[in-house]
Amino acid sequence: MGAQILVAGLGNLPLPLTRHSVGHYVLDSLSARLGAHFSLNKSMGGYYAETTINIDGSPVALGLFKPKPLMNISGPSVAAALHKTARVPSSLIVIHDSLDHRPATLSPKHGGSAGGHNGIRSTISALKTNEFHRLRVGIGRPDSGVSDFVLGRLPSFERQFWSPEGPGLDLVMEQIERIASQRVR
């Protein structure tokens, strides 16, 4: 059947547990909580897992996707995964880091510009639309040295917050369920 909702987490596989890879970390936590197991899907260009969640009494197929290419060029992989699963951009949720939001916060958004985020810019370019959902994971903004900051290790408090048992993952699940309930009506 394929996923009805595709959740893509952006990050850099060679740099796990960094602020820039918090999207991958959140997906790893989701897969652990939901009992879904990632495997490499070469046709999608990344790691994919699928499970079913219950939304308003109806089963919803949920795909989880971590692109293999580095974040700034991950859009074509996200587009390939969407094409092979949920098919329509309104069924896509992209989870990514946000310098514009305080650490340990989640800010949902639908549509709009990339806001300076190269992974989102790549996704918009590959999909040829910005009409997809985003869950922006706050990492805060340093006074200087943005590159070193985003490539720095995710602090232990934030790792715990976004862990499978953490309150941040509850927020992520609430947003996924909200978006999915709109899709199944």
Q: Enumerate the active-site residues.
A: 20
Query: Contact 86/63 with Cβ under 8 angstroms?
Result: yes
Q: How far apart are CA 33 and CA 165, in angstroms?
A: 8
Question: Pseudo-torsion of CA 170, 162, 132, 102, nearest 10°?
Answer: 110
Q: Is the dihedral of CA 108, 182, 23, 130 positive or negative?
A: negative
Q: Is the dihedral of CA 48, 6, 61, 34 positive or negative?
A: positive
Q: What is the DSSP string of 49-101?
A: EEEEEEETTEEEEEEEEEESS-GGG-HHHHHHHHHHTT-SGGGEEEEEEETTS
